[in-house]
Amino acid sequence: MDTALLRRFDVPGPRYTSYPTADRFVEAFGAAEHASALQLRAGAKVAGGGPFSLYVHVPFCESVCYYCACNKVITRRHERAAPFLQTLEAEMALNASLLGSPQPVSQVHLGGGSPTFLDDGELQRLMQAVHKHFRIVPGAELSIEVDPRTVDAQRLQALRQLGFNRLSFGVQDFDARVQQAVHRVQPLESVAALMRSARALEFDSINVDLIYGLPRQTQLSVATTIAQVIELQPDRIALYAYAHLPQRFKPQRRIHAADLPPPADRVAMLEGSVAQFLDAGYVYIGMDHFARPGDALAIAKRQGRLHRNFQGYSTQPDCDLIGLGPSAISRIGATYSQNAKDLQGWHDAVTQGQFPVERGLALTRDDLLRRAVIMALMCQGRVEFESVELAHLVDMRRYFAEELDRLVPLAEAGLVDLGGDAIQVTPAGWYVVRAIAMVFDRHLQSDRLRERFSRVI
């Protein structure tokens, strides 16, 4: 990697788990519009069809991690889980009532917060509700985010018995000084024991989340953590760049800016980490994801079947998504809808028999076209003009004349190849693929407030 080149294109920008991005959702799109989208889907009047994906947001955490930007409720009162689950079941019933007979689901993901805040019986109740209102298809992916501080080998076995076949461990960093600085202490030994237990239970895929750019991190400490993670041999690794936005996320105000590594060190951390993972045999999937060659994610990357949704890269076909719980986002047809972020607001709407949708968006023809281009860049690293033109009935060179001009400096920097009939992300370009995708973001090009996004590196 050319460090100077990476720093040049290290700009704030979206992660593109959707396009348009969630900050573009509007309050004019609400419960009625979400219900209409579901009714159209039930009547097979919209493109798509096929199995759904489900995302369940469990907002509770026992303690706050200072770096966290997730929608969460910090509490040690586990009795709050019971009314949450009751409301969650009611929200499932609302969606299912408009969709008709139990709809097929090929992917279920529990995120948060910390889903493992729920005890084994509560997780069983949640999954029973899912099976009651939806039909889980054979071979479905059932994944759950796990806080290693909240589980042991027995709990992992309970998750396996509930049908979960994928785990994601939130690790972030193994350095004791860094863990103390972000208020998340979890020794390497405890995570290693959990990994051994998960292997013995034959989970299909085990992911580890890491963050670089945290307070008190150094190039050496990050390299040490990466080496320790490689020893654990997870199937997948997500290496995120810490986004310090204390004006938006209150817990981050407890992090001292002086403790954060400077931009040059962050770039070096990324460069060193990528080299370590590649040397260990991992495949670079894109942006911030790595996988072992035999993992389904790496296979999908090789075969050009990679997709991207609100949970990141996925092997699942581009499908409709039902989001459940506070702040969860649904994608139905050409619409996005987001639930109320406030736990009480979400609860009140559902108990009144209403969808708790707070805002959303109906995509325009231009949005759909740009989404196709951006997702092709993010997932395949290539945009074939002919396929886009046939699907959207446009002339790529004419429609995107300004965007193609803005790509010229990136091409001159060696980040993209501009052929006569395609745009190809180069190996170097993959590290700043968000910056490449931003060129096609119509909303962002006229936006003066980009600093609300995390930086590319």
Q: Domains plus CATH for the chain?
A: 1-20+364-457 (1.10.10.920), 22-322 (3.80.30.20)
* Cis peptide leading into residue 414 (ω within 30°): no
Q: How many CB atoms lie within 10 A of CB 225?
A: 23
Whether 378 shows a pLDDT value over 60: the answer reads yes
Confidence of residue 1 (pLDDT cuts 50, 70, 90): low
**For residues 219-233, average pLDDT:** 98
Tell me the C-alpha distance between 92 and 388, whole Å.
36
Model confidence band, residue 454 (pLDDT cutoffs 50, 70, 90): low
Average the pLDDT over 210-221 and give the result.
97
Encode pLDDT of 90-116 as tens digits.
Answer: 999 999 999 988 999 999 999 999 999
What are the tens digits of pLDDT across the range 230-263?
A: 999 999 999 999 989 898 899 999 999 999 999 8
Q: What's the whole-number mean pLDDT along residues 436-451?
A: 76
Question: What is the pTM (predicted TM-score) of this model?
Answer: 0.92
d(Cα 299, Cα 335) in Å, to the nearest integer? 30
Q: 359 with 365: CB under 8 angstroms?
A: no
pLDDT band at 450 (very low <50, low <70, confident <90, very high): low
At 56 the pLDDT is 98
Tell how far CA 349 is from the center of its chain.
26
Exposed / middle / buried, residue 47 (Cβ in 10 Å: 0-12, 13-18, 19+): exposed
Q: What percent of the chain has pLDDT over 70?
A: 96
Q: How confident is the model at residue 47 (pLDDT cuts 50, 70, 90)?
A: very low
Output the DSSP codes for 290-343: EE-TTSHHHHHHHHT--EEETTEEESS-S--EEEESTT-EEEETTEEEEE-SSH
Known binding-site residues for [4Fe-4S] cluster equal 61, 65, 68
Please determine, for residue 310, whether its predicted confidence score (pLDDT) is greater than 90: no
44: confidence class by pLDDT, cuts 50, 70, 90: low
Cα–Cα distance, 138 to 158 (Å, whole number)? 20
- Mean pLDDT score, 144-149: 96
Predicted local confidence at residue 248, as pLDDT: 87
Average pLDDT, integer, range 127-152: 96
Range of weakest confidence among 130-134, 211-215, 268-272, 392-396: 268-272
Which token pair is 60? 């509770």
For the segment 339-352, the average pLDDT, to the nearest whole number, is: 97
Cis geometry, peptide bond prior to residue 51 (ω within 30 degrees of 0): no
**Looking at residue 94, what is its pLDDT?**
97
Angle between helices 120-133 and 81-99 (to 10 degrees): 10
- List the binding residues: 55, 61, 65, 67-69, 112, 145, 172, 184, 209, 243, 329
- Predicted confidence at residue 311, as pLDDT, reads 80
Q: What is the average pLDDT across 430-452?
A: 79
Give the pLDDT of residue 140: 95
Per-residue burial over 178-195, b = 16 or more CB atoms within 10 Å of its CB, e = otherwise: bbebbebebebeebeebb
pLDDT at 451 exceeding the cut of 60: no
Name the binding residues for S-adenosyl-L-methionine.
Answer: 55, 67-69, 112, 145, 172, 184, 209, 243, 329
- The pLDDT of 380-406, averaged and rounded, is 96
Mean pLDDT of the chain: 92
pLDDT at 46 over 50: no
- 59 pLDDT more than 60: yes
Q: Is the pLDDT of residue 48 over 60?
A: no
Q: Residue 318's pLDDT is what?
A: 75
Backbone angles phi, psi at 63, to 5 degrees: -145, 160
Q: Strand, helix or coil at 109?
A: strand
